[in-house]
Amino acid sequence: MVVAPTHLLAALLALGTLVDSSLASAVPDELATSSSDSASLESAFSSLNATVGGRLKRAVPFEAPCFSIVEGQSVHVDTAACSAIQASYTDPTFRVTHFGAYMLPQWETCQSSPTTEGCLLDSSNPTNPLAINGVNCQLGNVPPYYIEVGSYKDVQAALAFSNSTGVRLSVKNKGHDYKGRSSGKDTLNLWTTNLRSLSHSATFTPEGCVGKTYDAITTGAGVFTQDVYQYADSVNRTIIAGYHQTIGFSGGYFLVRPSSLPASP
């Protein structure tokens, strides 16, 4: 049996319901068009940042260091940072450490705009200048703000913020979602990647249950599949999980749809 910490799981399930119901609705027009409401929203973001201990971050395009035009503004190319990105552009173990990088790069782009907004290199040749020179690097479908979630209290704070401001929410773990649900233009994202606790109990009792115990491994929402495999082996247990070591076990594989070699037909 594999379980997730109770408070965090409840918060994430509540968040999932809110995200599903809000995906079809845009941020209220007045939040974007009224200067007074814009100031109010800015104040709300500042308050949220204080509530979550400074873990509210502003996103930038993953590939931005390679471009001389970012969001329509001329900038200096960061040659060293660009070279590092180009060298490991298709490496999942590199991409997973960057919030703005997704395993399927098309979800970094906003495809519903009149002209596709995004900031991509040529995956077959990341140094190809035709994908860079003269191209306007834009954030695209990457959420402009995100919280590096440290506990269920951060999730609760995000839910309260969304309810009071109308700003939509999205959730990202490792960025493997084939349907692109972990990105979202103009959303506030909860990045759960750092929730990597692991524990084992041969007599685990779910909260609220009496008289029944289970042999269980408890996993944080941001645990890597590879870490779960290694931990299960260390306590002599067997787990079937995702096919790649960078897949988020709890937030992606466990709570959504299995995608592993043993589970495949």
d(CA 78, CA 14): 41
Check residue 7 and give its pLDDT.
53
Domain that holds residue 99: 64-131
Residue 107 within a domain = yes
Is the residue at 21 inside a domain? no
Question: What is residue 217's three-state secondary structure?
Answer: strand
Which one of 103, 131, 159 terminates a domain? 131
Hey, is 45 helix, strand or coil? helix
- The maximal CA–CA distance of the chain, rounded, in angstroms, is 67
Does residue 152 lie within any of the structural domains?
Answer: no
Is 164 part of a structural domain of the chain? Answer: no
Q: Give me the pLDDT at residue 3, please.
A: 54
Domain boundary, last residue among 131, 157, 186: 131
Residue 47 maps to a domain: no
User: Mean pLDDT per 10-residue run, the chain (265 residues)?
Assistant: 52 44 36 62 94 97 98 97 98 96 93 87 97 96 97 96 96 90 94 95 91 91 92 93 84 54 42
Within its chain, how far is the Cα of 118 from the centroid? Answer: 17
Domain total for the chain? 2
CA count, 13 A, side-chain hemisphere, 247: 22
- 70 in a structural domain: yes
**Between β-strands 145-148 and 56-58, what pairing exists: parallel, antiparallel or unpaired?**
antiparallel
Which of 131, 155, 171 is the last residue in one of the domains? 131
List own/partner pairs for 91-97 with CB under 8 A and 24 or more apart.
92/244, 92/246, 93/245, 93/246, 95/62, 95/175, 96/174, 96/175, 96/193, 96/246
What's residue 250's pLDDT?
Answer: 84
Q: 52: which 2 tokens? A: 């979550």
81 found inside a domain: yes
3 token code pair = 């379980």
Asked if the structure places residue 119 within a domain, the reply is: yes
Continuous segment of H or E residues that includes residue 82: helix 79-87
